[in-house]
């Protein structure tokens, strides 16, 4: 066969395609377990960071040993052993009608359509009890569902921190929910008042620190009113009655 023949060109192209396909698919399959490990490590580092506990230079898995992972029954607001906390996937469950409830109208403040029956929560405990509790949160912004965590201090009201690990809001606008300064402004704010009523809200504009109620308020993001409203909505949902309010009350009374 001549070197320049049509048949030879096709054979070379076909062999090249097969070799490349085998290389790419082998890489994809063999890297999948590592991708899964990296995904889990990323989630763990986001959980630690939301509570202000992430330290540079120490392996994430080692730091995560301080965290107790538990599952909460959202209906009863108490811990449950009905599913294994090590394998339970709340995000998957919230899409499965058998493992979630549909939210309608006014109840669906965060615009999430369904809420999983069980939620994974993270506790930092010490000899004296619970130091911090880290709760998963999610809700719709302008373009996307924003997934994150909010951490509360041992009084189960003071905010220890917040962080979002997945969203598609516009960088520089709604994407400012990742701004470390804005996230830091949540620390020390109060979620609930002395009667246990939810007070925490993200307002439009800047908080007037001289005015009463400033301890419950977070600055809105400039030029991103819709994302800001989304964050406010998801906080009202997840710290409210349909969210974790029942669980937080039980935890306060030591009856979770
Ligand atoms: C390309 C583009 C991207 C935008 N991204 C966001 C966003 O991520 N979050 C948001 O709230 N508003 C975003 N906006 C602005 C909204 O359309 C809307 O104008 C804004 O939320 C109003 O907020 P303001 O009253 O603070 O200006 C975007 C606008 C444009 C043109």
pLDDT of 1 over the 80 cut = no
Residue with CA closest to ligand 1 atom 12 = 224
Measure 142 CA to ligand 1 centroid, in angstroms. 8
Find out whether 227 and 234 touch, Cβ atoms under 8 Å.
Answer: no
Give the end-to-end CA distance of the chain in Å, rounded to a whole number: 79
232 CB within 6 A, ligand 1: no
- Which DSSP string do the residues of 125-165 spell out, in sequence order? EETTEEEEEEEEEEEE-SSSEEEEEEEEETTSSBEEEEEEE
Q: Does 2 have pLDDT greater than 80?
A: no
pLDDT at 29: 92
Distance between CA 54 and CA 63 in Å, rounded? 8
pLDDT at 23 over 70: yes
In the predicted structure, residue 89 carries a pLDDT above the cut 90: yes
Does the structure show a pLDDT above 70 at 124? yes
Residue 10 has, within 13 A of its CA and on its CB side, a CA count of: 4
Q: What is the pLDDT of residue 86?
A: 94
CA of 139 to the centre of ligand 1 (A): 17
The answer, yes or no, to whether any atom of ligand 1 lies below 6 A from the CB of 224, is yes
Per-residue model confidence as pLDDT tens digits over 203-239: 999 999 999 999 999 999 999 999 999 999 999 999 9
> What burial class does residue 174 get, using C-beta atoms within 10 Å of its C-beta: 0-12 exposed, 13-18 middle, 19+ buried?
buried
- What is the rounded radius of gyration, in angstroms, for the C-alpha atoms of the chain? 23
- Residue in 171, 223, 231, 234 to alter for ligand 1 test, most ligand atoms within 8 A of Cβ: 223
Ligand 1 centre from 219 Cα, in Å?
Answer: 16
Q: Higher pLDDT residue, 255 or 68?
A: 68
Q: Please give the residue that has the higher pLDDT: either 256 or 177.
A: 177
- Give the DSSP letter of residue 180: H
DSSP secondary structure letter of residue 219: P
Helix residue ranges, H only, 99-256: 180-184, 225-238, 245-252
Q: Which residue is closest in CA terms to ligand 1's atom 27?
A: 223
| Mean pLDDT score across all residues of the chain | 96
Contact 227 CB / ligand 1 (< 6 Å): yes
Nearest protein CA to atom 4 of ligand 1, as residue? 170
- Higher per-residue pLDDT: 36 or 116: 116
Percent of the chain surpassing pLDDT 90: 93
**Ligand 1 centre and the CA of 143: distance in Å?**
10
Bigger pLDDT: 105 vs 113: 113
Q: How far is CA 163 from CA 6, 47, 132, 186, in A?
A: 59, 8, 15, 10
Q: Can you give the residue ranges of every domain in the chain? A: 1-65, 67-252
Residue nearest atom 25 of ligand 1, based on CA coordinates: 225
pLDDT, tens digit, 9 for 90 and up, residues 131-171: 999 999 999 999 999 999 999 999 999 999 999 999 999 99
């Amino acid at each position: 066969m001549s070197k320049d023949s049509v048949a030879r060109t096709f054979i070379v192209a076909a062999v090249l395609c097969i070799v490349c396909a085998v290389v790419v698919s082998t890489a994809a399959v063999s890297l999948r377990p590592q991708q899964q490990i990296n995904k889990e490590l990323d989630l763990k580092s986001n959980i630690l960071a939301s509570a202000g506990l992430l330290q540079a230079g120490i392996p994430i898995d080692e730091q995560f040993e301080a965290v107790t992972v538990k599952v909460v029954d959202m209906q009863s607001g108490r811990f449950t052993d009905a599913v294994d906390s090590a394998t339970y996937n709340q995000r998957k469950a919230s899409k499965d009608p058998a493992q979630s409830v549909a939210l309608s109208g006014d109840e669906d403040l965060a615009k999430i359509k369904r809420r999983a029956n069980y939620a994974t929560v993270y506790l930092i405990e010490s000899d004296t009890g619970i130091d911090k509790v880290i709760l998963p949160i999610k809700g719709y912004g302008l373009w996307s569902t924003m997934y994150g965590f909010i951490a509360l201090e041992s009084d189960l009201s003071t905010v220890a921190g917040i962080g979002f690990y997945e969203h598609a809001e516009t960088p520089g606008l709604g994407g400012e929910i990742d701004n470390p300064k804005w996230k830091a402004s949540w620390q020390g704010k109060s979620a609930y008042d002395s009667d246990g009523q939810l007070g925490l809200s993200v307002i439009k504009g800047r908080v007037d620190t001289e005015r009463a109620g400033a301890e419950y308020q977070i600055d809105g993001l400039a030029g991103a009113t819709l994302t800001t409203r989304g964050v406010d909505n998801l906080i009202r949902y997840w710290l409210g009655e349909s969210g974790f309010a029942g669980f937080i009350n039980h935890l306060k009374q030591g009856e979770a």
